[in-house]
Amino acid sequence: KAGVTQTPRYLIKTRGQQVTLSCSPISGHRSVSWYQQTPGQGLQFLFEYFSETQRNKGNFPGRFSGRQFSNSRSEMNVSTLELGDSALYLCASNRQGGMETQYFGPGTRLLVL
């Protein structure tokens, strides 16, 4: 079974631009979560989607948004990029969300100049 895939793997943007990241979960997994990892703040939860509905959201500004499609693929969008948005963005999936193993993708490295 294929693992969680994320595209693109690397991205360079400039301040003020917007960016869309994509995540394809493991086949059969309906829950997709997003995390941001920075050297200063560590790994922080962004949001979780299940059956196209956002079920949980972390403490990030409204510039960070996401969605999930009927095939469980998910996208996250960051508008009006700031230098501090430079980070590794990780996507994770599992079958139902909740209390079960999370499987992470390889991540997207975003650099904002």
Partner 1 sequence: GIQVEQSPPDLILQEGANSTLRCNFSDSVNNLQWFHQNPWGQLINLFYIPSGTKQNGRLSATTVATERYSLLYISSSQTTDSGVYFCAVGSGGGSEKLVFGKGTKLTVNP
Asked if 103 touches partner 1 (CB under 8 A), the answer is yes
Binding mask 31-50 toward partner 1 (x if CB under 8 A, else -) reads: x-x-x-x----xxxx--x-x
Least CB distance to partner 1 at residue 42 (A): 5
Residue labelled with tokens 């009927």? 70
Q: Is 84 helix (H, G, I), strand (E, B) or coil?
A: helix
DSSP one-letter code for 85:
G
C-alpha count within 13 angstroms, C-beta hemisphere, residue 34? 32
Least CB distance to partner 1 at residue 80 (A): 25
Q: 15 or 55: whose CB is closer to partner 1?
A: 55
Contacts of 59 (CB under 8 A, 6+ apart): 44
Specify whether the CB–CB gap between 100 and 3 falls below 8 A.
no
Asked if 106 touches partner 1 (CB under 8 A), the answer is yes
The site for partner 1 (CB under 8 A) is made up of 31, 33, 35, 37, 42-45, 48, 50, 55-56, 58, 88, 90, 92, 97-107, 109
